[in-house]
Structure 1
Amino acid sequence: MEITDQQQQISEQIEEQLEALDLPEEPSLLYDPVRYTLSLSGKRVRPYLTLIGCGMCGGDLEEALPAAISIELLHNFTLLHDDIMDRAETRRGEPSVFKKWNSNTAILSGDAMYAKAFKQLQYYGEEDSYSKNQYKTILDLFLDSAETVCEGQAFDLMFENQPDVSIEEYIRMIEGKTAALISGALAMGGAVAGVSSDVLEELQYVGKKAGIAFQIQDDLLDATADPDKFGKKKGGDIIEGKKTYLTLLALDRCNTKQEAELKAILGDPESEIEQINRVIGIYEDLDIIQDTKKAVQYHYQEALTHLEAFEDSAYKTEIFSFFNRLISREY
């Protein structure tokens, strides 16, 4: 996914701030996994949106850096804990902290990142230029995002043992698990800029729709992307039997024979590439791939449409460009 000069500049600011975090050498068992996690090649979508959201609302990007770093730390905290729950051996194409160390270390290091995220937000409580109400708004957005992510993860866990899950239930789940932090990231940028509650709600809606699109797109890429680019094994969701947008849509449309095939393969750890390709073949027969692409386009378009409410600026142009690049991403 090609990036603009402005995004490159913002990305460099984010990386500089992450590298400047106070991560002591000892205890190494606590901080080495944090350093390792932050060194992996993440997209930094959430801190980027915090900074762009602030700029689009007329704020100073430098002032939004603590909020941006806090949301990135929160995101990585959730990933460490997700990998434990999923028993995931890789993250971003490298061994997960859970695999490289162990679950206890991953829990502890994740907790440290959560604490570091809060420390970033102390800036807004200490600076006289921010009112108590503005500081409270920034904190509330952060905490609401964290709480909603937990709710989304809980729904995801419940779905593992729930035989029938509707598309509507699935969307509700990803509104929490994926979209909450993207929504919160944009809104926190606006809160730093001091915008009204109505504008914050608009930012949250844009982020929610973009987050839904992003997750459905991830579901799609699991089945269609080049594994080397995507950083995950092709059909990983199929092997794990995850309830994704594609599987739920397929199970809703398939005939009896296709249903039997799908249920026999989904979640079978012994599935080979032939079985994975058979599932993908069923997706294609039922127009699942094409209709999933349409769903991704729909939710991204909703986000873009609501961005029109904001005044024209270089930042608005940049976020339009960014979402359009996300639409066409291959990993």
Structure 2
Amino acid sequence: MSTNGLQQNLLERIEKELGKLNLPETPISLYQPYRYAINVGGKRIRPILTLLSCGLCGGDIDEAIPAALAVEILHNFTLVHDDIMDSAETRRGEPSVYKKWDSNIAILTGDVMFADAYKQLHYYGESDKFTKQEFAAMHHIFSRSIITVCEGQALDMEFVDRTDVSDKEYLQMIGGKTAALLSGALEMGAVAAHSSHHKRAELADLGYEMGIAFQIQDDLLDATADPEKFGKRPGGDIYEGKKTYLTIRALERANDAQKEIISRTLNEVNPSDDSVKQVLDIMAQLGVLDDVAKETDEHYQKAFNLLNKFESSEYKTELEKLLNFLQNRDH
């Protein structure tokens, strides 16, 4: 995603503040991997959302910096631990923390990042600009986001060995893994702007809709996107045996013969190209691809409708641009 203007300024501010984190030099086995995990890159979407939300609500974005840092540190903590659970050897094109060091170091690094993410929120308890209730709200939103992310990850792991996952369960899972932190990032920005409970709730809902749309769209692109742009062959999730929104919806609609083809292909260690194409054809025949595309647009439209409740500003314009970019992406 290209950045310019306001978004570029916010990104540069976030990078500058991350660079100023007061991390000790020792123990080197703890803080060197922490710095590595933070500096390996990323789009910084979540902290940008926190700052945009604060500006959208008429607040001073400087007051949202600690919340934005907390969100980004937490996000990177989840990636460090996810890579261990998934045995992922790379992250953003570089060796993952557990691969560059080892699992024990990665676990401990994640633990200190988790604690340091909470430490950023101390600002709201120490500053006389924020009430006791607002400080508590920051902690409540942050804690709720973490718990929901963990619940989503647990469901995702449970689904691996289940054959009866429903579309509602899948949406609950991605609502935790993907949407929860986007929702929390936007709501925390609103708290930093001293916004009303009503506006906070609207922004939390906006983040949820954005997260759900993004993830089911990702599942759809896996099946339909240009492989040169998307970076992997069509049906990559099917080759890997992953349960996605598409395969779940297809299994719910399929007849016995179609179910057998889908289940057999997902369970094969190295499914053939013909088998994967069969599954993709079944999805198209059952209307799954068209319906999921429509559902994706409906979630994005809900996000736009929530955003339209806010007054015009450069922050609103930037959020509109971001939503438009996400909705129209092809990879």
1:241 is aligned to 241
What SS does structure 2 have at the residue aligned with 1:130? coil
Root-mean-square deviation (CA, aligned residues, Å) is 2.2
8 Å Cα contact 1:183-1:206 kept in structure 2:
yes
Residues 45-85 of structure 1 show CA distances to partners (whole Å, capped at 9, x for unaligned) of: 11111000000001011111110010011111112222222
1:145 is aligned to 145
In structure 2, distance between residues paired with 1:36 and 1:323: 30
8 Å Cα contact 1:265-1:271 kept in structure 2:
yes
1:67 is aligned to 67
In structure 2, relative to structure 1, the CA distance for the partners of 1:226 and 1:86 (3 Å cut) is: farther
Give the structure-1-normalised TM-score.
0.92
Amino acid at match of 1:330: D
Residues 267-309 of structure 1 show CA distances to partners (whole Å, capped at 9, x for unaligned) of: 4332355544443343333333332222211111101111121
Deviates more, 1:153-162 or 1:109-118: 153-162
Which blocks of at least 5 consecutive residues in structure 1 are unaligned?
none
| 2:47 equivalent to 1:47 | yes
8 Å Cα contact 1:2-1:325 kept in structure 2:
no
Percent identical residues? 53
Deviates more, 1:28-37 or 1:295-304: 28-37
1:80 is aligned to 80
1:165 is aligned to 165
In structure 2, relative to structure 1, the CA distance for the partners of 1:228 and 1:87 (3 Å cut) is: farther
In structure 2, relative to structure 1, the CA distance for the partners of 1:137 and 1:6 (3 Å cut) is: same
In structure 2, distance between residues paired with 1:167 and 1:141: 26
2:290 is aligned to 290
Amino acid at match of 1:9: N
Amino acid at match of 1:197: H
In structure 2, distance between residues paired with 1:150 and 1:216: 19
Cα drift, residue 208 of structure 1: 0.8
What SS does structure 1 have at the residue aligned with 2:121? helix
Deviates more, 1:206-215 or 1:236-245: 236-245
Describe how 1:50-199 pairs up with structure 2 within 5 A. 50-199=50-199
| 2:23 equivalent to 1:23 | yes
In structure 2, distance between residues paired with 1:40 and 1:229: 23
Cα drift, residue 320 of structure 1: 1.2
Amino acid at match of 1:66: P
8 Å Cα contact 1:89-1:99 kept in structure 2:
yes
What SS does structure 1 have at the residue aligned with 2:203? helix
In structure 2, distance between residues paired with 1:103 and 1:181: 25
In structure 2, distance between residues paired with 1:26 and 1:80: 20
8 Å Cα contact 1:93-1:232 kept in structure 2:
no
2:326 is aligned to 326
What SS does structure 2 have at the residue aligned with 1:279? helix
In structure 1, distance between residues paired with 2:38 and 2:314: 29
In structure 2, relative to structure 1, the CA distance for the partners of 1:281 and 1:217 (3 Å cut) is: same
Amino acid at match of 1:7: Q
In structure 1, distance between residues paired with 2:278 and 2:95: 28
In structure 2, distance between residues paired with 1:90 and 1:273: 26
Aligned residues: 331
In structure 2, distance between residues paired with 1:44 and 1:37: 13
8 Å Cα contact 1:191-1:200 kept in structure 2:
yes
In structure 1, distance between residues paired with 2:142 and 2:189: 11
Amino acid at match of 1:203: L
8 Å Cα contact 1:242-1:267 kept in structure 2:
no
